[in-house]
Structure 1
Amino acid sequence: MAGLLYRLGRFSARRHWVVIVAWFVIIALAGVAFSLFKGPVSSAITIPGTPTATVTDELAAKFPSASGGSGTVVFETKDGKAFTASEKAGVESTLKKYTEQSGVKAATNPFTTQDQLTAQKQKVTDGRDQITAAKAQIAAGQEQLDAAKAQAQAAGQLAAAQAQLDQQQATLDASTKKIDAQSATLEQGSKLLDLAANIRFVSKDGSSAVSTVQFTKGIYDVDPDLKTKIVQLSDDANISGVNVYVSNDIAQGVPSIVGPGEVVGIIVAAIVLLIMLGTVIGAGLPLLGALVGLGASVLGSMAFSGLVQFNSVTTVLGIMLGLAVGIDYSLFILNRHRNQLKQGMKLHESIGLANGTSGNAVVFAGTTVIVALLALNITGIPFLGLMGTVGAVAVAVAILVAVSFTPAMMGLVGMKILRRKERAAIGNTASTRVPNKPMNTVRAIVTVVLGIAVLGSIALPAMQMRLGLPDGSAEATDSSQYKAFKTVENRFGAGQNGPLLVVADLPSKVSGDSLTAVEVTIGEKIASLDNVSALAPIGASKDGTVVAFQVIPTGGPSSVSTENLVHDLRDLPGVKVTGGTATLGVAGNASAQIDVSEKLSAVLPLYLVVVVGLSLIILIIVFRSILVPVTATAGFVLSLLATFGGLTAIYQFGWLSAVFGTHDPGPILSFLPIIEVGVLFGLAMDYQLFLVSGMRESFAHGAPAKIAVQRGLRNGRPVVMAAAIIMMSVFAGFIFSDSSTIRPIGFGLAFGVLVDAFVVRLLLIPAAMHLLGKTAWWFPKWLDRILPDVDVEGAKLERGHVGEVAAPEGELASAGVAAGAHAGPEHPAHTVEHRDHPSHKA
């Protein structure tokens, strides 16, 4: 591979315009494909086969009128007073516009619905009065009949009048039976109304109203353009004296890709590059390469959005990764090239060698990221697998750009990649002293103990981490979604932000009074559970075998109490009704979110085991050691747990809320832990490779194990720090996104890089390697014989070109990725064959 990349680098440098034009043609073709085949991007996060999905499918088949997704639109008077007649008319006109849209099944008029509820309650009161009056009449009639019987008996005419008296008694009995039946029916209806007492559509003070917009499709299948149209109609309502807020179910759209935070992140990355490389041209090349890679990967991936449903987060994650690794990978090769030029190497030879050594390590390191991302497909969760695939494509394209476009640009700019002073001093680079003193052992012990203690403390909040999906309370406080959520919470109760749909499968067909009785029986059973605020029957299917209820929890959609209620409903034994036993199922937006979160929680351990196992195998092959991979993987797990702890503290506990805008803390984004595992694993392996490969090479060249640690650390640290800062800057730019889904992803990745690069890789790993000494490189002979020889650093290629430049004593030719391929008399071991590696002498 190193030789191939060497030749590719030289070719790209010599034929730079061919390569540069080729990449822009690729971008153009990807753009054309995107414009021709693109499809809608959804904000939906769904998993097929969940209990919610099963119930939803049943409703669609048996009870179409109760199926289909729904969202709410909240109307609120600006003066806090009750709606006037003209304001109500404005609301009704807006609702009519909603129903005119294709794909909208209905939009309830809150005022009409509330009036109907009030009328029903009054009807019950009036019915009771009428029944009381009728019973009084029947009682009076019975008294009269009894008196007539007594009178006839006294007159000796009872036999003659018996037939007439019996007929009158039969009439009274029939009336009594009819009144009793009416009373029973009335009381059944009264019980249903009592169960729904806490459900309101207009607030008690009359200042707020909630309309439910019902769609023909499930909420996650609704065309995003239709949701956007509802939002536009709401924004354009212009109802005098009335604010219109659209709920998160409808208003949650595709997050913007570039905002102020992202721009700041890129600016910080540019500043770091400028400081490290010293020239505007040098700083611009990695940024340009990253943008070229993004153009090709994002447009190319999105061209398939017409065939596969893309989630909005999928694209953003691809952009995050493509931008971050694109800059870093180009930087590693560029930094190696600059160092070689300063030592006097010819331009094209330097580009080829940098591509064959640092580029080779970039390919290997990037491959670990790709494998980790593609492994997301083993979770069996479609949207997560697609997310990993798109991210892997972005990383793969970034690698291709780094090993082709970057050498072409380096060939184009030539020696201008160096500052004037550097060009003037070519071949006369001052000697750099190689560390010959190991780390202090006491310092190493303190570093390991203190580092583990600090990361362990940061990880503690992760023990209480809850997973969920963001609701309206997580949105910006000035957004329509947030105002809708808070208005409903304050005026109607938190539960009305996340109603549940409970479906009962009946043992036999019911209708009429029997249906009402069944609804009361099941309704009372549901209402007996904790955390139920109210419920109302929606109706029955045409065949009378399915009954649906809307259940209002006491808590919001992401609360623990609502989650407990969903489990309690599903755990209920069958409800005994006429004809047998009814079984219950739960659906609705809140239920779907809980199912998604639980499914993701269940697959996280499996994915973590796969990634950790993969980590050990890769590092054993690369470093030909047992203890180095173990410490590297342990460090990854430690940094991962610390990242989870930081996420929990910030976004679930609400710490530093003023800084991160977590005004309403809630559960952690359900798929974020898995994304963190995949991405941070790849990046941790990158940094491990960049640092420890230098230690390995120095040790292989004869340096004592503890001194080799210092040499590898000293020469790998600058580029790893720069790369980590750049990656953190790019990720951190998304922390202040306008999307509640993107913000925690940006923080998690930025914080994870900070912890893993600066604490684990630059502090804990060197200290642990020092304490292990020579035992760090112990490797069983039998394992050494069967494993392939992976020359990640391109050391063999470098040895073949050692005569191209005479580096000063101790100068590291590999200040970048290889970070340990030493040149000059200090390390004559460039001629040492691989068989001289210490592992072969074990």
Structure 2
Amino acid sequence: MAWHLYRLGRWSFRHRRIVISFWIGLLLLMGVGASTLSGKTSDQFTLPGIESIEAFDLMKERTPDAAPDGATARIVFQAPEGEKLTDPENAAAVKEALAAVDSKNVMTPPEARVLAATSEDGRTGYASIQYAKQSIELTDADREALETAPEVAQDAGLTVAIGGDALQEIPAQGLTELIGVGLAVIVLLITFGSLLMAGMPLLTAIIGVGIGVAGITTLTGFIDLGSSTPTLALMLGLAVGIDYALFIASRYRHEIHVGRSQEEAAGRAVGTAGSAVVFAGLTVVIALAGLSIVNINFLTQMGLAASATVAVAVLIALTLLPALFGAAGGKIGWGKIPFIKAPDPEDETVKNTMGRRWADLITKHRIKTLVGGLVVAGVVAIPVASMQLALPDDGTAPDGTGPRVAYDLIADNFGAGTNGPLLVVVDTKGADDPEAAVSATVKKVESVKKDVAAVLSPVPAKDAAPAEAEAFEGQLEATDYAIITLVPKSGPSDADTQTLVEDLRDEVSGVEADTGATVYVTGQTAVGVDISEKLADAFPKYLVVVVGLAFILLLIVFRSILVPLKAVAGFLLSVGVSLGATVAVFQWGWFADLIGVDKSGPVLFMLPLLLTGILFGLAMDYEVFLVSRMREEFVHGRPAKESVVFGFQYGARVVTAAAAIMVGVFGSFALGDEVIIKSIGFGLAVGVLADAFLVRMTIVPAFMALMGDRMWWLPKWLDKAMPNLDIEGESLVRRVEERDAAERETVPVA
């Protein structure tokens, strides 16, 4: 592989105009597609084969005009101090505002647009508007009618806020992301000491991200994608794009430093560091694409979109970067910054580097370092044991936004559970006595008193008018199902609500055997609970696949048993630290104010899977770039302990720079307003920080120095059976030397 990449690097260097034109042309093409073909994104999380979704399907099948999973808007009104919503002027303003919510997809008829409830003091009330389509399918006219309808009430002096998913906002890219880019520029300047060399990795990363995100945006016109999908691709593409280019550019500078020609240096840089980039990028792509094994559509889409962006970043680093080397020519050091010293870390005459001093310290106190590192990682990972997963709701929206204001007003005046009622659907098609089956279900539901604030029964009271009873029986005969609405005491994403869903299902489990009716617990809140549980169940399976893949790949790359075992164990430590810190901040609320988390709650339901997949690839990046240099030194004859020290010295500077860039990029996303992106950015920033500096640059060298020669043991039969990927470029050096020798023999003697 190294030889083919070497040839690719030299070809790209020579044909730089073609390569540069191709990538810029592709960027422009994707940009045109994004601006003309893009569609809307959605955060609708659905999953076939779970109880709550099956209930929705049943309702839509029996009543095709119904839209149980359609978008919902909750409009909250609050009168000024000393007034009530029932005051004539306020009541008229509310009625007029609700009547104005009129568009073709609104299912709630005008006569039903009334306040569902009013608070005890009469100041606050809310109304629910049901739509025929999901949020992604609503038209601009639907949204505009909903947004402008409250104006008449606001003009009358009422406070109005709109919650629900009908006005679902797409996460916007803010200025916080520029912090990560700014930090990347600073790190690159310190690493290379010149403006031109520092700008190349940044330029290639931006082009790669532009192509990837524009391509994803174009796809939104053809398939449904989540609103967080482009942001995840941007986050990863920017981070790995800079890092991969950084590794190759650093090697190119070293090859120039030892006196090679520019074209030869470009070829060798791509053939050596590029080999590690291919492997590292492949692990990220496989880990992200592997999210599809969970069989959840939106997670598969996010994984595939991000993996495609990472693949583009790899291709650009292997081709566009050497082309830029060729375009720069002898001016590669242009823009040198006088006060920044950027020595070549592979210059053997420079021995007193910070990386060398750190490696000497670690290997000298290897037992203390190893034990201390494991203790730190274990302590930070403790909160994982109490991790709770849930879908984000309006209660996690940023302070001051419409959805958050609406959620808080409802929670304060009617209870948090009013923001996410549960539905118990009784399928009476197989029941001998449908009314009796519904009554039996109601009794079962009412027996769950602990966490239920109210039960709205569909069964007419004993003293109901005959017309009411006949209407209920007629409806039941027409649809063969009844709906019981429950209002939990706790909010939609609270742990108590998840427990309530489980308790309800346990309580009604015997209804089918007793009456023949099938009972489902559903509603958007139950859907969130089901998806969270599905992901929690899938996490161990995914972890086994990822860990198994890591072991096999590293076994082939490093031709050792202990190296992949150590790498996998270190990866698990990094995941534990990342998830532990995320639980402590987002669920427990520790130091939450520092990153703008104003309300703690369960962890984002897909976070463990995403963090595992992404950190797996990034952890293997640092493992490959550090340990491959150690193995190279060991193979070339250095003693085991010295190979750790020298390999660390050569790779520590570039890995430190790469990790600092990733922490900065991911950390900048953690400073945004969108809770989904904030939690992902924070988890990744902590994970990279732990993996690079605690695991790969502290625990790993201490363990390797402790194990000595045993670190590189491999059974002979296994060594012969495995392919040789040659990540270190040993075969490349041999073939280049053979080629040069052959060329010298063919040169005629003067």
TM-score of the two chains, using structure 2 as the length reference: 0.89
Match of 2:673 among 732, 738, 744: 738
1:418 counterpart SS class:
coil
Greater displacement, 581-590 / 59-68: 59-68
* 1:27 maps onto 2:30 in alignment: no
Secondary structure of 1:310's match?
coil
- One-letter amino acid of the counterpart of residue 215, structure 1: Y
> Which of the numbers 105, 108, 125 marks the counterpart of 1:209?
125
> Is contact 2:432-2:516 (8 Å) kept?
no
Q: Partner letter of residue 402 of structure 1?
A: A
Once the two structures are superposed, residues 450-488 of structure 1 have per-residue CA deviations (whole angstroms, 9 ceiling, x without a partner) of 110011000001100000011122111111111111100
The match for 1:399 among 311, 314, 337 is 314
Aligned 8 A contact 2:551 2:565 in 1: yes
Could you tell which deviates more after superposition, 330-339 or 616-625? 330-339
Q: Distance between the aligned counterparts of 1:688 and 1:575, measured in 2?
A: 54
Relative to structure 2, which stretch is displaced further, 518-527 or 493-502? 518-527
> Within 5 A, what are the aligned runs for 1:227-238?
228-229=143-144, 232-233=147-148, 236-237=151-152, 238=154
C-alpha separation in 1, matches of 2:429 and 2:385 = 44
Given the alignment, which residue of 428, 432, 440 partners 1:506?
428
Look up the match of 1:188: none
Superimposed CA distance per residue, residues 77-122 of structure 1 (whole angstroms, 9 cap, x where no aligned partner): 2436312322222222222222x21211016778955xxxxxxxxx
Of the three residues 89, 92, 98, the one matched with 2:92 is 89
Structure 1 residue aligned with 2:462: none
Asked if the contact 2:213–2:309 (Cα under 8 Å) also holds between the matched residues in 1, the reply is: yes
Secondary structure in 1 matching 2:714: coil
User: For residues 422 and 57 of structure 1, do their structure 2 counterparts lie closer, same or farther at Cα, with a shift above 3 Å needed?
Assistant: closer
C-alpha distance in structure 1 between counterparts of 2:311 and 2:478, whole Å = 55
SS in 1 for 2:293: helix
Match of 1:616 in 2: 551
Cross-structure match for 1:531? 451
Residue aligned with 1:533, SS: strand
State the match for 2:532 in structure 1: 597
Aligned partner of 1:297 among 207, 212, 217: 212
User: 1:707 corresponds to which residue?
Assistant: 642
Q: Which moved more, 1:86-95 or 1:551-560?
A: 86-95
Which segment drifts farther, 577-586 or 646-655? 577-586
C-alpha contact (below 8 Å) 1:735/1:746 kept by paired residues: yes
1:701 shift after superposition: 0.6
Residues 120-131 of structure 1: pairs in structure 2 closer than 5 A = none
- In structure 2, how many angstroms separate the alpha carbons of the residues matched to 1:422 and 1:659? 34
After TM superposition, give the deviation of residue 368 of structure 1 in Å.
1.1
Q: What's the counterpart of residue 106 of structure 1?
A: 108
One of 77, 80, 86 as aligned partner of 2:79: 77
Say whether 1:432 aligns with 2:350.
Answer: yes
Aligned CA distance change for structure 1 residues 280 and 60 (closer, same or farther; 3 Å) = same
Question: Structure 1 residues 112 and 607, CA, compared in 2 at 3 Å: closer, same or farther?
Answer: closer
What displacement does 1:41 show?
0.7
Q: Distance in 1 between matches of 2:43 and 2:672?
A: 15
- Give the deviation of 1:302 after TM superposition: 2.9
Residue 497 of structure 1: which of 419, 440, 444 is its match? 419
Instruction: Say if 1:43 and 1:311, in contact at 8 Å, map to a contact too.
Output: yes
Which residue, out of 367, 371, 383, partners 1:449?
A: 371
Task: Give the match's secondary structure for 1:792.
Answer: coil
- Distance change (3 Å), C-alpha of 1:706 and 1:509: closer
Q: Which residue of 2 aligns with 1:328?
A: 243
Give the match for residue 44 of structure 2: 44
Find 2:574's aligned residue among 627, 639, 643.
Answer: 639
Q: Percent of aligned positions with the same letter in both sequences?
A: 39
Amino acid at match of 1:497: N
Where 1:244 maps in the other structure, the secondary structure is: strand
Distance in 1 (CA, whole Å) between partners of 2:135 and 2:237 is: 28
Could you say which residue in structure 1 is the equivalent of 2:469?
none
Instruction: Tell whether the 8 Å contact from 1:107 to 1:211 is kept in structure 2 after alignment.
Output: no
With over 3 angstroms needed to count, the CA separation of the structure-2 counterparts of 1:227 and 1:479, relative to structure 1, is farther
Q: Which moved more, 1:604-613 or 1:342-351?
A: 342-351
The verdict on how the C-alpha distance between 1:488 and 1:575 changes in structure 2, with shifts beyond 3 A counting, is same
Q: How does 1:677-716 map to 2 (within 5 A)?
A: 677-716=612-651
Deviation at 1:676, TM superposition (A): 0.6
1:382 Cα deviation after fit: 1.3
Q: TM-score, normalised by structure 1?
A: 0.80
Q: 2:392 aligns with which of 470, 477, 495?
A: 470
What's the secondary structure of 2:560's corresponding residue?
A: coil
- How many residues of Structure 1 are paired with residues of Structure 2 in the alignment? 713
Q: Could you say which residue in structure 1 is the equivalent of 2:743?
A: none
CA–CA separation in structure 1 for the residues paired with 2:671 and 2:566: 35
Residue 103 of structure 2 aligns to a residue in which SS?
A: coil
State the alpha-carbon separation in 2 of the partners of residues 546 and 440 from structure 1.
69
The 3 A distance-change label for structure 1 pair 562 and 30 is same
Instruction: Name the aligned partner's letter for residue 408 of structure 2.
Output: K
Note the 1:211-610 alignment, pairs <5 A: 211-217=127-133, 219=134, 222-223=137-138, 225=140, 228-229=143-144, 232-233=147-148, 236-237=151-152, 238-256=154-172, 258-418=173-333, 431-433=349-351, 443-506=365-428, 521-529=440-448, 530-537=450-457, 540-541=475-476, 543=478, 545-573=480-508, 580-610=515-545
Rounded to whole Å, the distance in 1 between the matches of 2:546 and 2:145 is 43
CA distance in 2, matches of 1:788, 1:430: 32
Letter of the aligned partner of 1:526 in structure 2?
A: V
Q: Measured at CA, do residues 757 and 792 of structure 1 come closer, stay the same or move farther in structure 2, by a change above 3 Å?
A: same
TM-align CA RMSD? 2.9
User: How much does 1:572 deviate?
Assistant: 2.5
Per-residue deviation, residues 795-835 of structure 1 (Å, max 9, x unmatched)? 32234446999xxxxxxxxxxxxxxxxxxxxxxxxxxxxxx
Deviation track 1:296-338 (CA, whole Å, cap 9, x = no partner) reads 1122233222332101111111111111000111111111111
| Distance of 2:514 and 2:636 partners within structure 1 | 85
Partner Cα separation in structure 2 for residue 575 and residue 67 of structure 1: 25
Tell which structure's C-alpha radius of gyration is larger.
1
Q: Which amino acid aligns with 1:85?
A: P
The answer to whether structure 1 residue 725 and structure 2 residue 645 are counterparts is no
Deviations 1:226-276 (A, max 9, x none): 6743553257554321122111423332101x2121111111111111111
- Separation in 2, partners of 1:209, 1:681: 49
Return the alpha-carbon distance in structure 2 between the equivalents of residues 227 and 453 of structure 1.
56
After the TM superposition, which of the residue ranges 635-644 and 576-585 deviates more from structure 2? Answer: 576-585
Structure 1 CA distance for aligned equivalents of residues 163 and 532 of structure 2: 21
Task: Go from structure 1 to structure 2 and tell me whether the alpha carbon gap of 1:736 and 1:251 turns closer, same or farther (over 3 Å shift).
Answer: farther
- Supply the distance in 2 between the matched residues of 1:739 and 1:426 (Cα, whole angstroms): 41
Question: Within 1, Cα distance between the matches of 2:401 and 2:343?
Answer: 58
Q: 1:26/1:666 Cα in 2 relative to 1: closer, same or farther (>3 Å)?
A: same
Deviation at 1:374, TM superposition (A): 1.1
SS of residue matched to 2:598: coil
Unaligned runs of 5+ in 2: 459-471, 741-750
**Unaligned regions of 5+ residues in structure 1, if any?**
114-199, 806-842
Alpha carbons of 1:653 and 1:640: their partners in 2 closer, same or farther (altered >3 Å)?
same
Q: 1:661: Cα distance to partner?
A: 2.1
State the SS of the aligned residue for 1:212. strand
Q: Which residue of 2 aligns with 1:5?
A: 5
CA distance in 2, matches of 1:421, 1:6: 28
Q: Hey, what's the Cα distance between the residues in 1 that align with 2:184 and 2:479?
A: 64
CA distance in 2, matches of 1:350, 1:364: 21
